[in-house]
């Protein structure tokens, strides 16, 4: 989206898709060129057999070079996408003009058990006998009480038109994500110099993913980091406080007010 201004790419979190950022992207598109992607094993992107943040960063780097040549990008990543974005900035700093890390830290995430529950819930749904999306929501409610999170997860449930039985399928590689959940929650040991560009560290005030004790690790990798906490937001900052989020990101990108 957008035809002029800085190049911006959004990297979604676990179980997300690029389209989750559509509203924010539209809010930037008057003054920036915005790219939304489905990360590997999510949305319409290919599935892999293994997971690592350096591998994911390499794939994102290929896309950035294919789209922008030698241009530098503002990279904005949330949760898993935030760790991929940090990895990209550390390993491919020539591609990253500035970095925005949304509600995640360069440490092992304590909250990973929450995503284990989500996976158990999704895998408990019998796709072969599922009559409709409403029933999927009802079954998932036994594991995920928050209707907003259920709605987010069920965006990944699609009718399989290629199947003779016209059944359902998950867009994401659920089994691989389940098997590598520990690695996704962890932080890779990267032999890299600190990233010298500006970094915005955005936290949801009600979230536990960015803690005071994580500041030293963040500053070790990103010495030019600036932390901003958004009131009234948990882990999904951009969907819980979209107007505030958009305003902060526009200022960070140096865009004129729309």
Catalytic positions are: 79, 175, 235
Q: Quote the CA–CA distance of 78 and 81 in Å, as a whole number.
A: 5
Cβ-contact 74, 50 below 8 angstroms: no
Q: Report which secondary-structure segment, H or E, holds 113.
A: helix 112-123
Whole-angstrom distance, CA of residue 99 vs CA of residue 201: 9
| H helices, E strands: number in the chain | 11, 8
Burial 94-126 (b: 16+ CB within 10 A, else e): ebbbbbbbbbbbbbebeeeeebeebbebbeebe
Query: Backbone phi, then psi, for 10, in 5-degree steps?
Result: -110, 130
Closest CA to 84 of 40, 47, 32, 35: 40
Helix (H) or strand (E) run with residue 134 in it: helix 133-140
14: nearest Cα among 235, 175, 184? 184
Separation between Cα atoms, residue 105 and residue 45, nearest integer Å: 25
> Per DSSP, what are the bridge partners of residue 159?
168
Rounded Cα distance, 252 and 28, in Å: 12
CA 175, distance to chain mean position in Å, is 19
């Amino acid at each position: 989206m957008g035809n002029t201004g800085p190049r911006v790419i959004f990297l979604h979190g676990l179980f997300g898709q690029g389209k989750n950022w559509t509203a924010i992207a539209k809010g930037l598109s008057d003054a920036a060129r915005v790219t939304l992607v489905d990360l590997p094993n999510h949305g319409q992107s290919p599935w892999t057999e293994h997971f690592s943040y350096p591998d994911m960063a390499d794939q994102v780097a290929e896309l950035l070079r294919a789209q922008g040549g030698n241009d530098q990008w503002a990279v904005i990543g949330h949760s898993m996408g935030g760790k991929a974005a940090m990895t990209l900035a550390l390993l491919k700093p020539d591609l990253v003009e500035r970095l925005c890390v949304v509600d995640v830290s360069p440490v092992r995430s304590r909250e990973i058990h929450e995503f284990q529950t989500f996976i158990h819930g999704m895998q408990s749904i019998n796709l072969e006998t599922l009559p409709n999306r409403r029933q999927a929501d009802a079954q998932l409610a036994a594991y995920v009480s928050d209707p907003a999170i259920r709605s987010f997860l069920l965006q990944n449930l699609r009718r399989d038109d290629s199947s003779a039985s016209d059944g359902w399928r998950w867009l994401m590689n659920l089994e691989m994500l389940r098997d590598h959940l520990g690695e996704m929650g962890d932080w890779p040991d990267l032999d890299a110099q600190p990233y010298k560009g500006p970094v915005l560290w955005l936290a949801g005030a009600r979230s536990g993913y960015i803690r005071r004790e994580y500041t030293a690790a963040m500053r070790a990798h990103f010495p030019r980091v600036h932390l901003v906490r958004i009131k009234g937001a948990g882990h999904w900052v951009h969907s819980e406080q979209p107007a505030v989020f958009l305003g902060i990101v526009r200022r960070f990108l140096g865009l004129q007010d729309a």
